[in-house]
Amino acid sequence: MKISFVLILFLLSCSPHTKRITVIDNANKFEIVFFNKEDSLVQTDTSKYFITAFKEVLKGGRKKETFCDSSGIIRFFSDDSLIYKTYFTTEITSGLEGCEFVWEGDEARRLTYTVGMYINETFYKLKY
């Protein structure tokens, strides 16, 4: 009984889900790039608040299919080394209702309110 419990814990600790969160823990900088028609808009920040909030997105449930196109990319860095990247979309940045996702491969995860608002506020700040 104990051996099977330990084996299950080991397998869970090695899951890609856990690895993504661990990688994000090492981030000390991130960059949000908005795909804009004229040119890309870029915001670089060191906010631990956003990095912590983004980990909650990675813990969220997965949705396999979505009709939304990405409207940008978020890159996480440890010092100057890229450690994780994901594409995103929000209703404000895409203009499509219900589009509040990040993608990793073909898996989409719904954004939390906090992360979605941060992205939208950053977009408005850069665009206007």
pTM: 0.81
Task: Look at residues 46, 90, 40, 38 and name the one whose alpha carbon lies nearest to residue 69.
Answer: 90
Q: Would you state the pLDDT for residue 109?
A: 93
**pLDDT exceeds 60 at position 104:** yes
pLDDT tens-digit readout, 36-88: 877 889 999 999 999 999 999 988 888 777 788 899 999 999 999 999 999 99
The CATH number of residue 6's host domain is 3.30.1490
**pLDDT exceeds 60 at position 6:** no
Domain count of the fold of the chain: 1
Contacts of 48 by beta carbon, 8 Å cutoff, 6+ apart:
none
Q: Show the domain range for 53.
A: 2-127
